[in-house]
Amino acid sequence: MRTTGEGRVLLEPNGPSLQPDRLVALPRLAGPRVGGLPHDADRFIPVDDRGRVEGADGVWAAGDCTAFPIKQGGIAAQQADTVAAAIAAQAGADVEALPFRPVMRGMLLTGRAPTWLRASIADGRAADSVTTGNALWWPPSKIAGKRLAPALGAADADAAAEHSEGGLSVEVELQAHPAEAPGLERRAILAHVRGERKPRLLDFEPGGHGL
């Protein structure tokens, strides 16, 4: 693309010439091209639906480095769950190695109350998409991961209450099992729950989730 005059741009190599109000440029994604592993034309690692690297025995991959086209922390966490189960099953653990069935979860920060977005992805298309002002997962953070989100929430006390406009966030210490986990601090948030009109007090701890 190059500018050809006042407010005009030419899309190369063969046009067209445009006069846009706004231009948004996005970088082209390229993978890390890990030595010794196969990669596609964009240097991402091809994996099957259990995260096994195609053409490399005993190697699994998860996250942005794989050829799965959506690069997102929540998706990476789901891929990691798939891969962990596949490796455990192969090692003889009593675990079912389920195929990767991605679900996109996004939190749209609107400047007022956030909107939660969720859609299953099948055959490259979104299905069952939901858009709502109620939290669709727990904790209701930007990074949606069964284990990752509670871990991040536990690591940063502020993360649980982040972007909580539209609800009242509270943090209380519950003396549930102090003897078992003396260092554990449980948290609670007053939030709207899907299907319920009134807000409810929910609590979670490291390991707890709503996915």
| Residues in contact with ligand FAD by the rule CB under 6 A | 32, 63-65, 71-74, 76, 142-143
Shortest distance in whole angstroms from residue 101 CB to ligand FAD = 17
Shortest distance in whole angstroms from residue 119 CB to ligand FAD = 14
- Phi, psi (degrees; rounded to nearest 5) at 208: -85, 155
3-state secondary structure of 105: strand
Is the CB of 70 or the CB of 181 nearer to ligand FAD? Answer: 70
Shortest distance in whole angstroms from residue 179 CB to ligand FAD = 36
CA 110 to chain CA centroid, Å, is 19
The closest alpha carbon to 190, from 176, 209, 208, 172, belongs to 172
Shortest distance in whole angstroms from residue 138 CB to ligand FAD = 15
Is the CB of 78 or the CB of 134 nearer to ligand FAD? Answer: 78
Which residue number has the CB closest to ligand FAD?
Answer: 63
Is the CB of 36 or the CB of 55 nearer to ligand FAD? Answer: 36
Is the CB of 86 or the CB of 143 nearer to ligand FAD? Answer: 143
Residues sharing a CB contact under 8 Å with residue 135, sequence separation 6 or more, in sequence order = 116, 191, 192, 193, 194, 210
The CB density around residue 115, as the number of other CB atoms within 10 Å, is 16
